[in-house]
Chains A and B, each alone.
Chain A
Amino acid sequence: MTETLSCDVLVVGGGPGGIAAATRAAEAGSDVLLVDEGGSLGGQIWRHAAHGPSEALAWLERLRRSKTRVETGACVVVRRVDGPFLAERDGKPVLVEAGKAILATGARERFLPFPGWTLPGVLGVGGAQALLKAGASFRGKRVVIAGSGPLLLPVAASLSRGGARIEAVAEQASGTNVAGFGLGLWRRPAKVSQAIRYRASFPRARYRTGTWVAAAHGSTQIESVTLCDGGRTWTAQCDVLACAYGLVPNVELPRSLGCAVANGFVRVDAEQRTDVPSVWAVGEPTGIGGVEKSLIEGEIAGLSATNREISGALQRRLASENDFAKRLATAFALRSALRSLATPQTTLCRCEDVALGRIDARWTRRQAKLYTRAGMGACQGRICGSALEFLFGGDPDHERPPVKPVSLSTLETLG
């Protein structure tokens, strides 16, 4: 017999957005089930939330008191048409019958191809942070941090505290953009003083704006990188390169349920309702904006799903966060020079080892997949798909569930 769970409200994803949504819905008296793929709640941003910031601890305590049921280590991969959701846990299927669903699936990092990007020792920026928090030691390692976005500074700071030697921090956005973004934070003094503290924790290295990694070099693992500022290029020796270009929303599950996606983000109304009845979406999938935006949207969705009134104060706070999200996107917009880093020989699809030169820029994503296998591997195009979107534009292929690889016996459950 397949394990079957049922609830009034299913919340998928246990980061800040999912935690806030589940809490609010359960506080309103609904039977809420919160399912997360990871081993513990918190998502990527509140990884190991039990040891996280006080805001995370307060939300976890409130979630606990709300009587939300929590299932960790379970990944929701598909929904039978108008029927139950199917998840997999420890290789076994779990069916979830839910009247309503709130999707809080978070985001991943954007990786762009450049020569050498497949060498071991090349990690994401959040990836390096995640590995550090998972127990990896960076003591004595020479690290270059590159890419784009506000994550570069805190990751440089925490790796430096962990004993790494930060060789360079290279932000692709221009100095003007970054300074303008910093000035725009005057209404958020806590964020400014945080940034100053981060910067002070790696005094040896320069934080270079308008600078990016043109190539990584090494035989069996990374040994050095070529940095470029548009005019000059130079080499830095390193043991680790942490490089990612902002975040990509995880819209695979919402799309597979039929939720409309516009400009890469799930379309929602003022109460976070998607175009699919009884399905809400919150957090990064509706627009990259960080923890506060996710928490507020989670609260709104939790209230909406339980027919509670949404206060004007909550909506005003969301408007302010959306404004922040817009400034974030503008300040850290990716420069077009990043489109010409990869050569025709550079690997694009890392799962299937497809070189960029084999892809015709006019192809749809589906054609690329059928003709070359790009995007057909285990990551299901999550890495090369968002790279192709930046390089050539165009829409992603239709979502083909399950949204993560599962065993055939799990899929059989839908039969």
Chain B
Amino acid sequence: MVTLRVDEKEVEVDAGSTVAAALWNAGQKSLRRSVTGEPRGALCAMGVCFECRVRIDGIDHRRACVEVVRDGMEVETR
């Protein structure tokens, strides 16, 4: 198991999972706000649509569906 921090909350997932899967399992389908403020979540889950962008370890616009979880990873959604 791997532990990551998502918006101040600890989330445990199987090693090898993507960040999108970790957030999904934590009950969080909304991953970002669109340019007009709508909630958005993963759509294509294959790195194409960029709907699942989150901030990972301080870097913006990382695709949660292609980033694999690492112990101690810090994920911020908005």
Contact = CB atoms under 8 A, between A and B. Distances in A.
Contacts of A118: 34, 38, 40
Interface of A: 37-39, 44, 108-109, 111, 118-124, 126-128, 130-131, 134-137, 220-221, 347, 350-353, 377-379, 382-383, 405
Given A111-B43, A353-B34, 16 more contacts: A38-B66, A39-B68, A108-B44, A119-B39, A120-B39, A122-B41, A127-B45, A135-B16, A135-B21, A135-B25, A137-B24, A221-B41, A350-B34, A379-B48, A379-B50, A383-B43
Contacts of B66: 38-39
A12 to B, nearest CB: 15
26 contacts: A38-B47, A38-B66, A39-B66, A109-B44, A120-B40, A120-B41, A122-B41, A123-B43, A123-B44, A126-B45, A126-B46, A127-B43, A127-B44, A134-B18, A135-B16, A135-B17, A136-B24, A136-B25, A221-B30, A353-B35, A353-B36, A377-B50, A379-B50, A383-B43, A383-B44, A383-B48
Interface of B: 13-14, 16-18, 20-22, 24-25, 29-31, 34-36, 38-51, 53, 61, 65-66, 68
A379 B49 CA distance: 5
A366 B56 CA distance: 33
A326 B38 CA distance: 40
Contact of A131 (B45, B47, B61): B45
B44 A124 contact: yes
A335 to B, nearest CB: 22
B65 A108 contact: no
Contact of A108 (B17, B41, B48, B50): B48
A124 B43 CA distance: 6
